[in-house]
Structure 1
Amino acid sequence: MEWTRGRILGRGSTATVCSAMCHNSNEILAVKSSELHRSEFLQREAKILSSLNSPYVIGFRGTETKIESNGVVTYNLLMEYAPYGTLTDAAKKNGGRLEEAMIVKYTREILRGLEYIHSKGIAHCDVKGSNVVVAEKGEAKLADFGCAKRVGSEAVTGTPAFMAPEVARGKKQGSESDIWAVGCTVIEMATGSPPWTEASSREDPVSVLYRVGYSGETPELPCLLTEEAKDFLKMCFKREAKERWTATQLLNHPFLIGKPDIEPVLGSGLVSSSPTSVTDQTFWRSVEDEIVEEEAVDLQDESRNLDRLNLWACYLETIGRLRCVGGLDGPRWDMEGGDWITVRVSCEGTMISGSLT
């Protein structure tokens, strides 16, 4: 396939996402590129994506190894281009959250995508708003398969705030874990924030993992949702993986069944008009001018997924130490004994102490 690379849409530590145009069809593409010697995860993503064909999964267009003008050899994954960003973007553009009717539409499409890939023995392993894109006709599609794997693989990956308890404990990850993440994504669409918001700072993923894996809690259900929606979430948030509903079962839940799809208000998207040829400068300018900063940040998630693979063993080791110290019920701060010292004093003068033993 002959194609020309356009503007950079997002850049991570190991891969870059660009727009591109196919010479023969004038189709706009998304191209994820990595230096060949660092492309192991991108090649794995391409292998999985090439085996899938569903209207609810981002389309695979091919792969290519290319020598760039600077002499660097790159591995390129060519994919369908989704002009309207991600579900995270959609919530931001709608004042921070989506109406329940739109949540129903997008959740139904996410589950159809998961029903399909689960039937193929594949788990996505990182379902969240920024990994679900809104395609040309307004339909939601699963994207970013950088963490995806064949069910039964030992590796554990993903985003802490969207992880199921068994994943946070490093024990198992499969189709059931994707269902938990669907529930988290519904909360994200409804509130504009992921679950465990008060604990989910990017600087402290270990605290999120510990809470998800060992606290016995489930995410708080947004009070603004209907009772049907809350019951749907309860079916997603069973702490025992085997008790969670499957994608097929959830598609028949009263929250989704029998409700018509509504047409989303799409706006202009990242590309406001169809290009006439590969030399159409309007296309290249529009991609550069109309992309907003937060969309570029969301596209960097793919690199974070790769970084998580390298950090995962460290996180789980830390969780194990915390569990040994604190037990299943969390740490016990026994104030008896004389070996406590002051480590910080707040502005109000309240003493905060810590133990040396």
Structure 2
Amino acid sequence: MDWSRGTIIGRGSYAVVSSATSDSGDIFAVKSADLSLSHSLQKEQRILSVLSHPYIVGYIGHDITMENHELVYNLLMELLPGGSLADEILRRGRLEESVIGYYTRQILEGLNYIHSIGISHCDIKGENILIGEDGVKISDFGCAKLGQEEVDQPIAGTPMFMAPETACGKEQGFPSDIWALGCTIIEMATGRPPWLNMTDPVSVLYKIAFSGELPVIPDYLSCKARDFVSKCLSRDPKERWTATELLRHPFMDVEFGKVSVNVKLPWNSPTSILDEGVWSGTVEEEEEVSENLAGECSSSPADRIRRLCLFSRQPPPPPDWRREESWFIIRDHNST
């Protein structure tokens, strides 16, 4: 498929995310990294390519391109119109319980699906949940584990959302995803991270692993909602409810109306990193992304630096899709 790269809309720990358009006019997201540094991205592609579910971000394809004399690995996936759940929390603050229930049920359906085929996501949080016209979808499988073959894989993910058994380095699997779901519900309900007044990664991990404490469940949630979250946040992973069990919880029996989404092409990243810091950054060795990719949406080095400095505080304006100069040709029919 021939396609053109548009504006950079996000940066992750190992890749840059851009909007893109195909020759047929379809618009999608492209997650790109230097080929030599694309191990995590290729792993994400392998996992995403075998998934097909309404609440998992859609896989389109992958390829390798030559850009500014450098080989670039690209993962092509659907672009959802509402940004990430973390972006929505930043915009709205605390979400209403009806909205929380609506999103939680869909996240849980997605988790139940991947768990049923042996995949642990290992980095569930608001930033990795994307909002579309019909609800939310789980994205960013760069930390995911596939079955028992990866049981000894190093611990990865986001400290603030790690389960106790993961924080102390023992194990990371399906129950860890459920703990992270509970933390994400608290994030939605409070508009804040699940552990307050924590800024140091080591302190966060130590507190989660050894303090014996639990994130505070807001008392203004209903009894059903609080009980649901408590079933996610058992410190003993063996006592934590599974995704299948949680789908049968009374909180999931409540009729939640469809949440209205203002559908437009956003500046938000499909793997939003607008909130930087310990509670949102993944525990991975951050790979350097080529300046060739980082510089494509600016006209000068000074402008690139200015955008980088302001990125988490002042989002760039939406791209003007009508202007041809906004696009960069990756392939054309005349290329050899």
Instruction: Indicate the TM-score class for this superposition, using the shorter chain for normalisation.
Output: 0.7 to 0.9
Residue pairs, 1:137-216, within 5 angstroms:
137-152=133-148, 153-154=151-152, 155-199=154-198, 201=199, 204-216=200-212
What residue identity is the alignment partner of 2:85?
A: L
Aligned partners of 2:84 and 2:268 also within 8 Å: no
Partner residue of 1:110 out of 80, 84, 107: 107
2-structure distance, mates of 1:45, 1:261: 32
2-structure distance, mates of 1:227, 1:159: 28
2-structure distance, mates of 1:217, 1:195: 12
What residue identity is the alignment partner of 1:215?
A: S
Q: How many pairs are equivalent? A: 281
Percent of aligned pairs with the same amino acid: 49
What residue identity is the alignment partner of 2:40?
A: F
Q: Which has the larger radius of gyration?
A: 1
Offset from partner CA, 1:18-74 (integer Å, 9 cap, x none): 0001223x2211100000000011000111111111011000100101111x11110
Task: Please identify which structure carries the higher helix content.
Answer: 1
Aligned partners of 2:10 and 2:268 also within 8 Å: no
2-structure distance, mates of 1:227, 1:111: 19
Aligned partners of 2:128 and 2:272 also within 8 Å: no
What SS class does the counterpart of residue 65 from structure 1 fall into? strand
2-structure distance, mates of 1:233, 1:266: 25
What SS class does the counterpart of residue 310 from structure 1 fall into? coil
Aligned partners of 2:6 and 2:18 also within 8 Å: yes
Aligned partners of 2:6 and 2:19 also within 8 Å: yes
1-structure distance, mates of 2:166, 2:273: 28
Aligned partners of 2:5 and 2:19 also within 8 Å: yes
Q: Per the alignment, do residues 121 and 295 of structure 1 end up closer, same or farther by CA in structure 2, a change over 3 Å counting? A: closer
Partner in structure 1 of residue 4 of structure 2? 4
Aligned partners of 1:3 and 1:23 also within 8 Å: yes
Q: CA deviation at 1:263?
A: 2.3
Partner residue of 2:85 out of 84, 87, 96: 87
What residue identity is the alignment partner of 2:255?
A: P
Aligned partners of 1:9 and 1:296 also within 8 Å: no
Aligned partners of 2:120 and 2:177 also within 8 Å: yes
Aligned partners of 1:6 and 1:18 also within 8 Å: yes
1-structure distance, mates of 2:259, 2:121: 25
1-structure distance, mates of 2:84, 2:130: 4
Greater RCO (CA < 8 Å, at least 6 residues apart) = 2
Q: CA deviation at 1:84?
A: 0.3
Q: Per the alignment, do residues 253 and 212 of structure 1 end up closer, same or farther by CA in structure 2, a change over 3 Å counting? A: same
Residue pairs, 1:303-314, within 5 angstroms:
304-305=281-282, 308-310=283-285
Moved over 4 A (4+): 298-301
In the superposition, the TM-score normalised over structure 1's length comes to 0.75
Q: CA deviation at 1:291?
A: 4.9
Q: CA deviation at 1:265?
A: 2.7
Q: In the alignment, does 2:238 pair up with 1:263?
A: no
Residue pairs, 1:308-347, within 5 angstroms:
308-310=283-285
Q: CA deviation at 1:138?
A: 3.3
Q: CA deviation at 1:92?
A: 2.2
2-structure distance, mates of 1:102, 1:248: 21
Residue pairs, 1:219-230, within 5 angstroms:
219-230=215-226
2-structure distance, mates of 1:122, 1:128: 16
Partner in structure 1 of residue 124 of structure 2? 127
Q: CA deviation at 1:256?
A: 1.1
What residue identity is the alignment partner of 1:167?
A: T
Q: Unpaired segments of 5 or more residues in structure 2?
A: 287-336
Q: CA deviation at 1:159?
A: 0.7
Partner in structure 2 of residue 42 of structure 1? 41
Q: CA deviation at 1:304?
A: 4.4
Q: Per the alignment, do residues 5 and 299 of structure 1 end up closer, same or farther by CA in structure 2, a change over 3 Å counting? A: farther
Q: Per the alignment, do residues 159 and 211 of structure 1 end up closer, same or farther by CA in structure 2, a change over 3 Å counting? A: same
Q: CA deviation at 1:234?
A: 1.0
2-structure distance, mates of 1:83, 1:235: 32
2-structure distance, mates of 1:118, 1:196: 26
Q: CA deviation at 1:252?
A: 1.0
Q: Unpaired segments of 5 or more residues in structure 1?
A: 272-286, 312-357
What residue identity is the alignment partner of 1:78?
A: L
Q: Per the alignment, do residues 211 and 5 of structure 1 end up closer, same or farther by CA in structure 2, a change over 3 Å counting? A: same
1-structure distance, mates of 2:5, 2:197: 41
What residue identity is the alignment partner of 1:297?
A: L
Q: In the alignment, does 2:54 pair up with 1:77?
A: no
2-structure distance, mates of 1:263, 1:223: 25
1-structure distance, mates of 2:273, 2:238: 37
